[in-house]
Structure 1
Amino acid sequence: MTFTQAVRSCLSQYAGFQGRAPRSEFWWFWVFTLLTEIAAFVIGTMLLAGSITATQVSGGQIDAWYFFAGPNWLSTVVHLGLILPSLAVAVRRLHDIGRTGWWFLILFIPFGFFVLLFWWVQPSQREPNVYGPPLLPAR
């Protein structure tokens, strides 16, 4: 699955927790989410809520840069808009390896993230499971 296909798939199943998501769909959407949130943070901070000032010493050289960031509503809106599809694709990824989506709650215990990370990098089950047929890429 390509980057564009993964983003389209995840956004078209915005809150779809049913079915399976292959490894490529999960990780490409993760990259999309990361890049989108970084862009929203930078744009929101630089254009909407922040300022950069420079302090100069004698001789015209810049001694230090200071950055002030106020409330960044753009970053908050983007994060809230992407949290549900991110959660849905994470649950569908667990379905793809034969685990129930309730395993996502392991995230809230110490070191639970590492267990989820281990499962998310596992290859897809090649046979159908209770969550549906495999969505493996065509070879």
Structure 2
Amino acid sequence: MKFGQAIDSVLFKNYFNLEGKATRSEYWWFMLFFIIFNLFAGIIVGIILGITLGADLNPDTFSLYYTLGLLAVFILPLLGLSVRRFADAGRGRREAI
């Protein structure tokens, strides 16, 4: 499985699919995407905080909303991917949770 296929599989085709299996390549390509996405999104958030630091925006509140937003978007696909990866590795699905 290639990089784009892994992202498509995890985010669109198997958003919260707990059945089936996930290959190592699907798992690691998506983890690479997740890390790169978080890195660039964190840089953008840092730039926004740097620009608006003098405004009424509290950096802690903004960071909290950013983190909660990322969690809301990625928790279900990451959970589904982990459960399917554990099943492919021969481990119990409950171990992933």
> Which residue in 2 is equivalent to 1:15?
16
Q: CA deviation at 1:10?
A: 0.3
Structure possessing the higher radius of gyration over alpha carbons: 1
**Cα distance in structure 2, aligned partners of 1:20 and 1:104:** 13
Question: What do residues 1-47 of structure 1 show as CA deviations (whole Å, max 9, x unaligned)?
Answer: 10000000001211111100000000001111111112221112212
> Which residue in 2 is equivalent to 1:120?
none
Specify which structure has the bigger relative contact order, considering alpha-carbon pairs within 8 angstroms and separated by 6 or more residues: 2
TM-score (norm 1): 0.57
Q: Could you say if the C-alpha distance between residues 43 and 50 of structure 1 is closer, same or farther in structure 2, counting changes exceeding 3 Å?
A: same
> Which residue in 2 is equivalent to 1:128?
none
Superposition RMSD on alpha carbons, in Å? Answer: 2.2
Segments of 5+ residues of structure 1 without an aligned counterpart are 52-68, 106-139
Identity %: 33
Select the structure that is richer in strand.
1
**Residues 1:79 and 2:80 are matched in the alignment:** no
**Cα distance in structure 2, aligned partners of 1:20 and 1:82:** 19
